[in-house]
């Protein structure tokens, strides 16, 4: 499992790769062309944006040194001073622990430096997340504070708001909470009942309503609250729209319920928050009045990517503990670790940890690029993959541990309980799958309809392009554009795809696997190139994962195919025979991956056009 | 018509041999057997015709005493199992209720068949010969017709008739009487009837016996018993099998029928996803309740009894002013009715029939016409609805005149149904009471004009007053019973 953590140490060891890193680093800011589309969206069009993912993003040496300075003390603190068991038993993080966290600056990791935060890049944030997640309760508390609680102020806040709130939030003097969920409203923004009405002097909003399951609800003194307000449209009609507010506890009228008794992450504080005639000044509107929906979406979308690295950190620790047990426990005069079925479990855990780590750092690296790349699909993919892998791995680890995995005296069962929430919060995995599939299809659909439109209008270049593409395809990979039917028109009932959740789930699964494959291929190929220690191990892990994911994708594709109505329209993935999961493909992306995506799209659209 | 070839005989025999393991193996292999049986039936009928003529010539011409041949005929008539050839003498008066199901029987029974000469007179006289058995069933104490008395009748027959003369006729008679005694679903009774057959006598002794219908009349009778079991959904058991093997042997038609029943009954037993209970409630209100629940797909729907019928003790048992009214309405229907535009009328329509086993009940619906397309509200997807994923793919389609907007959709849309009711009377006054009752839970109904569109009751199969309460005691004949039986089979019960 030491191989899994190689990435950050790698840069120090990689004298060879330095020149290349410097080259890419210097080249990137100079790029004048508009930033290319995010990787995942292009994947839906059957294109691999190689520039985005190859080579695997790296951090500069300075940054690395800087991060190591942080990581050391934080790691020491978490291993020596944090008593996770006690936190779990008592259902509360002790005050001195919180104080120490604040003094380490962990409450303001992503707050810009001018507001007193650490101003860490996404990659560094991901790295710190690995360590913080050694205690899930603390990790969730910190995430609720800065990944969603104060993120709104950073993303949408005005200068005054930032100056007013961020310094105190970054120091941990104030804790933030994110209040969106209501008894009747989860992901349905239309059913939000909390209401903010403008007072007569137009200086205040009066806030009424209650929110449930608010992490940090009892500790927080600054809340990001979403409430319905009346907004006058451009054509004069009055509509209810969601608006985001920054609400301080001192505004009055805020009560929090008693902390919820939870299955896992028991140390984090979750409770109901009630607002009763809370007067919020007009200046505290976050973003625009009526623009709360976008604010909420942006906050939610930006907070997810770090989960991959956090889970990987937790898993690596767990693997370490499990490995220790497996190497000492003897049965039939042999260590557990010598048994094939146990080894298989370790292989699975190592592989999953490796993949999620690769995905998380790849995404973080993409986010760190200049400009504001939209990596929300990638982040969602990381979240879905890592949370599910975490549940699976923790379960397998408990299996290795046998009876002691089930006992409360050991930390293992706590990890199991803690990891269950990962599948649920920050958007359940089901909803995120829908998000991944639909956002991607929307993007692909728009581009292809535009293309069809051009074809109809008789744009000569487009026609030539299409024809040549067709010819090339028919000669080469025999994959056509996909989205267009036989007559070259997109079926108007494309909208119904939204209802085809089972299809969308499989689409999302395939895309997640493709992204995971890309990430491990990119990372492993870089490891080979720079000659990292144990890179053969990485290649092996990448290899296992790619083979597995490939077959999973084939299976998902065949399932998509099965639901197809017309038998003669069914196809088989035509490029499968070219696929050899050997280390040679690690250096470049496998063509089947490309073909498969196209083929997939084609199949989906055929299916749609049939309904 | 041709003689059977040896190969066919072999195949047939093999089919027989396999039958006790795989009953359905017979089906393809028996394809030749009807022809052989037709030949047999034809020749046997000829024999019977001949013997009848003889009797006619001899019998009436010697009124002083029966001729020797007619005496022999009477003897044979009572112990038909002695000789296969002569036993068929009684063939056509076996029963008016011809057993169906076995392909040979239609050919053998068909009176229009050119090979079968129509028997002249003796039918009537021979039917009268059944009278002694009828008496067995009349012996039952008055009024009490139950399983015990039926069993008593059967036992009387076996005791009184040690040689079991005329047992085939008796079994047919008993089969017809079963309904009256209410034992038509009792497996033990069927086994008892089968037990009347003498054992080991009708078993085929050699290959030719089993190729040609051995003791056809007895086999037909055995099939008739099984057939009636089938019609009433009675699953034969091990005892039945044992009896059949004892009586007819494994390679016989009743056994084939048994094996097929064993195979298909298990498959069809639970084929109806909406089973109707075997014994329907006698009370019309309970029956209506059951029928309404049966029709309404929404489980949260509520049944309301708007009016109870007058009790039976009152002087007028069928008082037309107080028939029962039972209605059902689901919350969704209630909501739909609340949203109904009061300017549009709603309709009470009916009566429509619903069959529950052998009972026909009638119901009325409250419905509205479909809104014209231009007035329908299109459900809009709010712009900012789902925090996580797009609820609608917003693709900039460049639709032009080329594009086909019309799709070939075979959908017939119907107007909404707001409630269903069952009432004891189908007149407007009764149904108006139902609407009044509905208004209590649906206040908007007071403002909506209600139009009664009641069809004439000529379409009813049974008179509404008697049909709901009475069950026909005598088994219905012909088509009607066939339908009932089919229905019963479909709603297969235990």
* Residues of chain B by 3-state class (helix, strand, coil), percent to 5: 50, 10, 40
Q: What is the pLDDT of residue A442?
A: 86
pLDDT band at A563 (very low <50, low <70, confident <90, very high): low
SS3 B227: helix
**Tens digits of residue pLDDT in B19-55:** 344 333 333 333 334 444 555 445 445 445 444 444 4
Question: Using one digit for the tens of pLDDT, what is the confidence trace for A437-448?
Answer: 998 888 888 887
Note the pLDDT of residue A474.
Answer: 62
> Can you give the pLDDT at residue B77?
42
Our CA-based measurement puts residue A69 at a distance from the nearest CA of chain B, in whole angstroms, of 37
Which one from A272, A426, A500, A538 is the annotated catalytic residue? A426
- What residues of chain A lie within 8 A of the CB of B398, using their CB? 449-450, 452-453, 456-457
Span A256-278, pLDDT tens digits: 999 999 999 999 999 999 999 99
A426 is catalytic: yes
Give pLDDT tens digits for A424-470: 988 899 999 999 999 888 888 888 778 777 777 777 777 777 777 76
Lowest average pLDDT, out of A343-357, B6-20, B432-446, goes to B6-20
Q: Does A225 touch chain B (CB under 8 A)?
A: no
Compare all CA atoms of chain B with the CA of A494 and give the residue at the minimum distance: B393
Q: Is the pLDDT of residue A104 over 70?
A: yes
Q: Do A498 and B392 touch (CB under 8 A)?
A: yes
pLDDT band at A24 (very low <50, low <70, confident <90, very high): very low
Nearest to A300 among B382, B387, B402 (CB): B387
Give the per-residue pLDDT at B299.
Answer: 84
Q: Of chain B residues 398-457, which have a CB less than 8 A from chain A? A: 398-400, 402-403, 405, 407
Q: Mean of the pLDDT values across residues A1-10?
A: 40
Whether chain B has a CB inside 8 Å of the CB on A206: the answer is: no
Q: Which of A18-27, B392-401, B449-458 has the highest mean pLDDT?
A: B449-458
Nearest CA distance, A51 vs chain B (angstrom): 27
Which tens digit of pLDDT belongs to each residue from B175-229?
998 988 889 889 999 999 999 999 999 999 988 888 888 899 999 999 999 999 9
Q: With contacts defined as CB-CB under 8 Å, which chain B residues touch A379? A: none
Is A40 or A385 the better-scoring residue by pLDDT?
Answer: A385
Out of A258-267, A383-392, B469-478, pick the least confident: B469-478
pLDDT at B311: 57
Query: pLDDT of A410-421, one tens digit each?
Result: 999 999 999 999
pLDDT one-digit tens code per residue, B88-141 = 333 333 334 434 433 433 333 443 434 434 444 444 434 444 456 777 887 655
Phi, psi of B54 (to 5 degrees): -60, -45
Between B237 and B1, the more confident residue is B237
Q: pLDDT tier at B143 (50, 70, 90 boundaries)?
A: low
Chain A: residue nearest B395 by CA? A446
For CA atoms A316, A320, A322, A323, the dihedral sign is positive
3-state secondary structure of A261: coil
pLDDT in tens, B263-293: 998 888 778 888 888 889 989 899 999 999 9
**Where does the pLDDT of residue B486 fall: very low under 50, low under 70, confident under 90, or very high at 90 and above?**
very low
Model pTM score = 0.70
Within 8 A of A180 by CB-CB distance, chain B residues are: 387
pLDDT tens, position by position, A199-255: 999 999 999 999 999 999 999 999 999 999 999 888 888 888 999 999 999 999 999
Of B385, B388, B392, the CB nearest to A427: B388
Specify burial of residue B399 (Cβ count, 10 A radius: 0-12, 13-18, 19+). Answer: middle
CB proximity B384 to A under 8 Å: yes
- Asked if A494's CB is within 8 angstroms of B394's CB, the reply is no
Give ∠ CA A59-A63-A65 in degrees, rounded to 5.
Answer: 115
pLDDT value of residue B404: 61
Q: Does residue B398 register a pLDDT over 90?
A: no
B379 in contact with A, Cβ within 8 Å: no
Q: How far is CA B94 from CA A167, A326, B97, B101, B353, in A?
A: 106, 84, 8, 16, 38
Chain segment A355-384, per-residue pLDDT in tens: 999 999 999 998 888 877 888 999 999 999
Chain A contact for B382, CB < 8 A?
yes
Distance CA A273, CA A211 (A): 5
How would residue A518 be classed by pLDDT, with cut points 50, 70 and 90?
A: very high
Q: Specify which residues A550 forms β-bridges with.
A: none
Average pLDDT, chain B: 70
Q: Is A520's pLDDT higher than 90?
A: yes
ipTM confidence score: 0.72
- Chain A interface includes B388 (CB < 8 A): yes
List the B346-356 sheet strands across, edge first.
B302-307, B325-329, B417-423, B359-368, B346-356, B450-454
The number of beta carbons lying within 10 Å of the beta carbon of residue B393 is: 17
Do A449 and B399 make contact, defined as CB atoms within 8 angstroms?
Answer: no
Least confident of A140-149, A585-594, B270-279, B450-459: A585-594
B398: nearest CB among A297, A432, A456:
A456
Residue B494, pLDDT above cutoff 80: no
Q: What is the pLDDT of residue A495?
A: 54
B391 in A contact zone (CB under 8 Å): yes
Distance CA A159, CA A489 (A): 49
Rounded Cα distance, B271 and B265, in Å: 10
Residue A419 has a CB neighbour count (10 Å cut-off) of 25
Whether residue A359 contacts residue A514, with contact meaning beta carbons closer than 8 Å, is answered with no
Which residues of B are less than 8 Å from A492 in CB distance? 397, 399, 403, 405
């Amino acid at each position: 499992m030491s191989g899994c953590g190689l990435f950050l140490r790698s840069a120090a060891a990689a004298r060879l790769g330095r020149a290349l890193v410097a080259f890419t680093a210097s080249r990137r800011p100079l790029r004048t062309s508009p930033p290319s589309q995010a990787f995942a969206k292009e994947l839906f069009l059957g294109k691999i944006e190689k520039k985005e993912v190859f080579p695997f993003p790296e951090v500069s040496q300075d940054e690395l040194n800087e991060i190591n300075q942080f990581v050391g003390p934080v790691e020491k603190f978490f291993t020596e001073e944090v008593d996770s068991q006690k936190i779990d038993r008592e259902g509360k993080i002790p005050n001195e622990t919180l104080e120490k966290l604040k003094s380490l600056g962990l409450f303001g990791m992503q707050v810009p430096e001018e507001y007193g935060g650490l101003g860490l890049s996404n990659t560094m944030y991901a790295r710190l997340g690995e360590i913080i997640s050694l205690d899930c309760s603390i990790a969730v508390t910190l995430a609720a504070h800065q990944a969603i609680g104060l993120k709104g102020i950073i993303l949408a806040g005005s200068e005054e708001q930032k100056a007013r709130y961020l310094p105190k939030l970054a120091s941990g003097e104030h804790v933030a909470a994110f209040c969106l969920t209501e008894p009747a409203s989860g992901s349905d923004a239309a059913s939000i009942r909390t209401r903010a009405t403008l007072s007569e002097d137009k200086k205040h909003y009066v806030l009424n309503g209650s929110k449930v399951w608010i992490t940090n609800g009892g500790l927080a003194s600054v809340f990001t609250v979403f409430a319905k307000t009346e907004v006058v449209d451009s054509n004069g009609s009055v509509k209810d729209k969601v608006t985001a507010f920054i609400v301080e506890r001192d505004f009055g009228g805020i009560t929090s319920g008693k902390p919820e008794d939870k299955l896992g992450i028991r140390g984090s504080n979750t409770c109901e928050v009630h607002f009763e005639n809370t007067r919020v000044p007009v200046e505290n509107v976050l973003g625009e009045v009526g623009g709360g929906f976008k604010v909420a979406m942006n906050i939610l979308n930006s907070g997810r990517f770090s989960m991959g690295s956090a889970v990987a950190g937790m898993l690596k620790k767990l693997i370490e503990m499990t490995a220790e047990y497996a190497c000492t426990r003897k049965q039939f005069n042999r260590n557990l670790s010598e048994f094939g079925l146990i080894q298989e479990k370790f292989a699975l855990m190592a592989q999953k940890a490796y993949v999620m780590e690769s995905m998380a750092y790849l995404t973080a690296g993409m986010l760190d690029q200049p400009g504001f790349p939209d990596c929300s699909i990638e982040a969602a993919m990381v979240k879905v993959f890592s949370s599910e892998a975490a549940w699976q791995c923790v379960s397998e680890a408990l299996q290795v541990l046998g009876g002691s995995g089930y006992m409360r005296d050991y930390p293992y069962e706590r990890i199991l309980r803690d990891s269950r929430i990962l599948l649920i919060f920050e958007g359940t995995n089901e909803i995120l799958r829908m998000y991944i599939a639909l956002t991607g299809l929307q993007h692909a659909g728009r581009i292809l309809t535009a293309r069809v439109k051009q074809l109809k209008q008789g744009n000569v270049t487009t026609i030539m392009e299409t024809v040549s593409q067709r010819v090339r395809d028919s000669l080469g990979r025999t994959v056509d554009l996909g989205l267009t039917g036989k007559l070259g028109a997109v079926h108007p009932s494309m909208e119904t795809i939204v209802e085809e959740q089972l299809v969308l789930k499989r689409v999302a699964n395939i895309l997640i696997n493709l992204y995971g494959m890309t990430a491990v291929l990119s990372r492993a190929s870089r490891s080979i190139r720079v000659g990292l220690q144990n890179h053969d191990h990485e290649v092996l892990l990448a290899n296992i994962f790619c083979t597995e994911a490939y077959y999973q994708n084939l299976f998902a594709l065949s399932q998509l195919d099965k639901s197809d109505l017309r038998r003669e329209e069914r196809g088989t993935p035509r490029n499968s025979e070219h696929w050899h999961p050997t280390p040679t493909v690690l250096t470049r992306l496998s063509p089947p991956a490309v073909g498969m995506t196209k083929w997939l799209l084609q199949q989906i659209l055929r299916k749609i056009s049939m309904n | 018509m041709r003689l059977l070839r040896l190969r066919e005989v072999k195949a047939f025999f093999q089919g027989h041999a396999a039958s006790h393991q795989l009953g359905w193996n017979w089906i393809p292999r028996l394809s030749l057997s009807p022809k052989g049986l037709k030949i047999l039936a034809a020749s046997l009928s000829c024999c019977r015709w001949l013997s009848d003529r003889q009797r006619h010539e001899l019998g009436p011409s010697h009124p002083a005493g029966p001729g020797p041949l007619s005496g022999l005929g009477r003897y044979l008539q009572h112990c038909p199992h002695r000789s296969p050839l002569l036993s068929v003498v009684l063939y056509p008066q076996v029963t008016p209720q011809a057993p169906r199901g076995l392909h040979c029987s239609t050919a053998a029974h068909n009176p229009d068949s050119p090979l079968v000469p129509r028997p002249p007179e003796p039918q009537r006289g021979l039917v009268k010969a059944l009278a002694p058995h009828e008496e067995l069933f009349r012996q039952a104490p008055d009024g009490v017709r139950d399983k015990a008395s039926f069993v008593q009748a059967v036992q009387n027959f076996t005791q009184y008739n040690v040689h079991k003369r005329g047992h085939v006729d008796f079994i047919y008679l008993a089969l017809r009487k079963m309904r009256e005694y209410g034992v038509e679903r009792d497996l033990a009774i069927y086994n008892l009837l089968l037990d009347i057959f003498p054992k080991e006598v009708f078993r085929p002794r050699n290959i030719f016996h089993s190729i040609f219908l051995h003791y056809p009349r007895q086999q037909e009778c055995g099939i008739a018993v099984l057939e009636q079991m089938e019609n009433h959904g009675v699953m034969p058991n091990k005892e039945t099998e044992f009896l059949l093997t004892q009586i007819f042997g494994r390679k016989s038609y009743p056994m084939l029928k048994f094996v097929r029943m064993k195979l298909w009954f298990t498959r069809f037993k639970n084929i109806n996803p909406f089973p109707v209970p075997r014994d329907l409630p006698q009370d019309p209100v309970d029956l209506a309740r059951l029928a309404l629940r049966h029709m309404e797909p929404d489980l949260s729907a509520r049944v309301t009894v708007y009016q109870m019928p007058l009790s039976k003790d009152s002087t007028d048992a069928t008082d037309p002013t107080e028939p029962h009214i039972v209605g059902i309405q689901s919350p969704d229907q209630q909501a739909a009715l609340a949203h109904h535009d009061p300017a549009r009328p709603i309709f009470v329509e009916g009566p429509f029939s619903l069959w529950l086993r052998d009972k026909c009940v009638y119901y009325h619906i409250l419905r509205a016409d479909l809104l014209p397309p231009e007035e329908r509200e299109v459900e809009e997807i709010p712009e900012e609805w789902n925090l996580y994923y797009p609820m609608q793919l917003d693709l900039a389609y460049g639709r032009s005149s080329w594009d086909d907007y019309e799709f070939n959709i075979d959908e017939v849309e119907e107007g909404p149904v707001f409630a269903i009711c069952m009432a004891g009377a189908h007149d407007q006054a009764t149904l108006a009471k139902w609407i009044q009752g509905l208004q209590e839970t649906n206040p908007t109904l007071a403002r909506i004009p209600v139009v009664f569109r009641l069809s004439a009751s000529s379409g009813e199969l049974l008179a509404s007053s008697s049909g709901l309460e009475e069950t026909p005691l005598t088994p219905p004949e012909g088509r009607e019973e066939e339908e009932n039986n089919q229905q019963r089979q479909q709603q297969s019960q235990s």
